[in-house]
Amino acid sequence: MDSLPVSIIIPNYNGEQILAANLTSVTEAARRYPGAVEIIVVDDASGDNSVLMIAEQFPEIRVVTHDVNKGFAEAVHSGVTSSRHPIIILLNSDVRPERQFIAPLIRWFGRPDTFAVSPLICDPRGKPQRVSWNIGKIIRGEIRNQNWELDQSLSLVRGGTPLRSLYASGGSAAIRKEMFLQLGGFLSIYKPFYYEDRDLGTRAWQHGWQTYFEPQSMVNHDHLGTINRFFATRKIKIIQKRNRLYYLWLHLSTRKLFFSHIPWIFFRLLTRLLKMDLIYIAALSRALLRLGEIVRLRREFAGQGDIKALEKIIEDIAS
């Protein structure tokens, strides 16, 4: 399993300068891996010279192009459809992997129930990011992520304890392609960005497929990607809060929704009104506009069998 063929998929939109710096690390990591690796950049109708730069400097990389901008999820889907290998690794254009990051991730796919594996994600200063290992609990109708220490995680892994995680970040995740396709990939309701990876990991858990954290694989995330460069801060915050509501409404149990989450929505709405926090109000209003679609999706998920609620999945991960 240490040499399963791998397809690395990198969505790109006007990321010429970022890609030029990071693709060298990606190609070096591919050379260090003992198995076959293909690298696919999906160019989402960039207006810069991204495609030309790749052709000139990285001819070994395959480029898939969109005629019009379709967003992160569709770029990933195009890459997955074009890929040749059973394991896909998603990397944001502003992620720089360490040379030996692939093999530790791939070892987990010897387990038949492995859906995804997350590497250790560090900021440009080398500080581990909490999103690497997603563990938490439900408090006041919301997920509260728990803190963890790198030394603790490394000690557990070396002692043979699997580190189960709710999801792997879409900016740096190894995923079993067959399962990704069976789940239908990312849901369009989360467009243009945020929470689609969390939702995908949750739906995988509902099918009994697990996500693991592998701290012996490392990538560096510069946070210079498309979202922060091309969207206003206020819009980003509204979309993030709106999509968090979508996610909770889709996956919390009916009991948890009505007796915890919804009462706290009214409390939060009141406090935001008093503080004139228009961002939360805008996010809630926009989420309510698609409530019918959320209800339809909940019914669709319920029809797939004995689907665990989000709070139960989180309890199982922590146990």
H helical segments located in 83-232: 102-106, 150-158, 177-182, 196-206, 226-230
pLDDT at residue number 224: 63
For 242, phi then psi, to 5°, come to -60, -45
Return the pLDDT at 306. Answer: 74
CA distance 148 to 295: 35
Determine whether 287 is exposed, middle or buried from the number of CB atoms within 10 Å of its CB (0-12, 13-18, 19+): buried
DSSP strand E in 45-163: where?
Answer: 62-65, 87-91, 95-97, 114-122, 136-139, 142-145
**Per-residue pLDDT at 1:** 61
What the block records as the tokens of 154 is 């490394």
* Contact assessment for residue 16 and residue 77, using Cβ atoms and an 8 Å cutoff: no
Options 3.90.550.10, 3.40.50.150, 3.30.360.10, 3.40.50.300; CATH for 6-229 is: 3.90.550.10
pLDDT in tens, the chain (319 residues): 678 999 999 999 999 988 988 999 999 999 999 999 999 999 999 999 999 999 999 999 999 999 999 989 999 999 999 999 999 999 999 999 999 999 999 999 999 999 999 999 999 888 999 999 999 999 999 999 999 999 999 999 989 999 999 999 999 999 999 999 999 999 999 998 899 999 999 999 999 999 999 999 999 998 766 676 778 889 999 999 999 999 999 999 999 999 999 999 999 999 998 888 899 999 999 999 999 999 999 999 888 877 899 999 999 998 8
Three-state SS string across 227-270, please?
HHHHCCHHHHHHHHHHHHHHHHHHHCCHHHHHHHHHHHHHHHHH
Buried b (16+ CB within 10 A) or exposed e, 140-176: ebbbeeeebeeeebeeebeeeeebbbbbbbbbbbbbb
